[in-house]
Structure 1
Amino acid sequence: YYKVGYNLAKVLVNLLYKVSVDYQDEAALARIPKKDVVVYLMNHRSNADYVVVAYVLAYGVQVSYAVGEWARAWPLEYVFKSFGAYFIRRRYREPLYHAVLERYVQLITRNGVTQGIFPEGGLTRDGRLKLPKLGLLDYICRTVLDGDFARDVWFVPVALNYDRVLEDRSLIRELVAEGDRPGRLSQLFSVTAYVLANLGRLLTGRLRRYGRAAVNFGTPLSLRSWLATAPPGVLAWSKEQRLPELQKLANEMLRRIGAIIPVTPVPLAAAALLSFEQTVVPKAAVLDRMDQLRDRLQEVNAKVVRGGVRIHDIWDRAWRMLRLRQLVVAEGDSLVILPRGRPLLEYYANSIAHLIRIRGPRLPFHKEHERETDLPRLKRPET
């Protein structure tokens, strides 16, 4: 059934995106012993993450994903099962359920199943990395308490970013208008309308790709090596005692993920546009700021997708998406951020904001460079 999932992923991904793949330390990945267990830890930007990573890894390995119970609806349930997914109830507090889930996760780990988990525990709503959750990570780590389990577990950081996240407007909706979270029927209607609209574009030859989907693989971390530096017997401690130590492991993995977040054209352009904190910005100034940001990103070893091409080429790729989505319009030699466009620009800029300081010096004041006073802004989600 993995072949079904791969073929489906291949069709969907190539219809929607141009995929870029990069490796921070390919030699370290190649040195992982084949007998050991590999767990991919990924940031969670879109429900397309499952499909994109399944497509990227399909030639070498099949990945079993932990998927939220929201996906147990026809036909999504069968789609995700074809990728080797299992479903979990993230907010279900019944102790028996979690005991069974822990045993299941440890069973597949003992049997060497390659897994993919999202340590953030859910989609980012504002574009930033979220704090890590510890449940599944705890279950996997405690597998080594089994005396018959002689393998090592390798955690591989995986970072994803997009020029367009399919569900971005739904994700930021509540942050723009507090309490305005769409209901399930509304979400189902939106998704259905979206799929039908794109199917119509496909049949009429008008479907265009949504820019880049980029995946970066970082340097893996050995669980047994980490345990050698942790307090002795930490995994056998009570839950209240061991979780603070496991938090350090989770934080380290999230740090590694954050360090290799791909910088695709739209996030770079969004960061440049917002750095002026103005509604109207000369295009030449935006291009110059993009060039400056790219240089600073490369100085901190950030992964800029096709970072060696001319900045005009990067802008052209971003501009197609910004114009298509009516986030920014051109007015003479200037660019105007539309009122409804700012929250989405902020969402995409936030995906790389942890890498560098985005805000830059303002241009000399001009009446057409009116400061933004009433454009909507994203609120920080409650943690």
Structure 2
Amino acid sequence: MRTGGGTPTLEVPPLDAGHDLKLLARADYAHLSSTQAHAHAVRGLDLHLRRRDDGRRELFGIGLDADRVRACVRHALRASPDVVTVRVTVFSRHTADVADRSLVTWRGSQDDHSEGAVAAEVGVRVGLGYGSSGKLLDVYQPVGVPGPAPVVLFWHGRGPDERDVLAAVARAAAERGLVVLVPDWRPDAPDGGRAQLGESAEFVRRNAVGLGGDPERIVLAGWSLGGKAAVAVALNPEAFGGWRPSAVVGIAGAYGSAAPTTGTVPLDDLRRGGGARPPLPVWLVHGTADPVVDVERSRELHTALGERGWPTSLDEVATDHAGVIMTEFVPERQRCLPSTADHAVLAGSRTADVLARAAGITVGRSNRRP
């Protein structure tokens, strides 16, 4: 926006200007910067753009297209007086829609590097409460998929309340025809998060039908510490209220120490017999360049499962701990944020494929150990 001696002017990127202005009018999740332009020049514009880049990464997890902003500012100033005030507002079309109707849709890519992937439209329900803990979860739903869809309950890792970290790979999984629920939970809670994880499992069992899912096809998945928590439920269900999913997916997990869901060590549970119930499928995914949890941890579990007759597979992907969920670790934020790096996009897409295969949806094959 520019104001000065004439009429205020709004400049928006050339998509659907009328729709964008309506969204901007009701957006309550945004950041902005105001400055003065003298003779069509803005002093300190680079600093303003760096601040907007920092703000966009903090709010939306992705950097600012500075060249695009410069082009918009130049266009807004093309017929302005010598001295005007310029304000740059950065907001999300999707977030503005959430404020209006709580259901946001994205169109899945037709070319996401995954052979046989389903390019479904995805709806996202943001911030649903679950259980007495007051924690929130997001639901990623395929739109227009006939019949009840398989369901994935997807647990994040050690960082408290980091459901947003799994957003990119959860959306990719929903594009393949899955209903994906991603809850917040706190591993630093006095009980290690066990109550919250249990509440999320109860929520998905109770609400699967209402969310368009099949309650008989619930896959339990987790990344990092969440992966250990998920695998532990398969191997020691009695310690988690007796519930077992139809399959489990462990992503970049380590399985030689106590899990928050059961308080027991998954490998020890397996060596003791893995419970009295029949084995269920355990799917594993791990980055071969993971500096946080070595890929050998998944190889160890994969071998032990196979030796004891459990149906299992291990997909090894050429990426690191964050890339396997389509993110990168940003040190200054101490958080994993969405990544467009080739290795992360390819690895995250393969992780989404594994989630789909675990739920019974046929997609492309990858570097898998049978």
Relative to the length of structure 1, the TM-score reads 0.25
Greater helix share, 1 or 2? 1
* RCO higher in structure (CA 8 A, sep ≥6): 1
Greater strand share, 1 or 2? 2
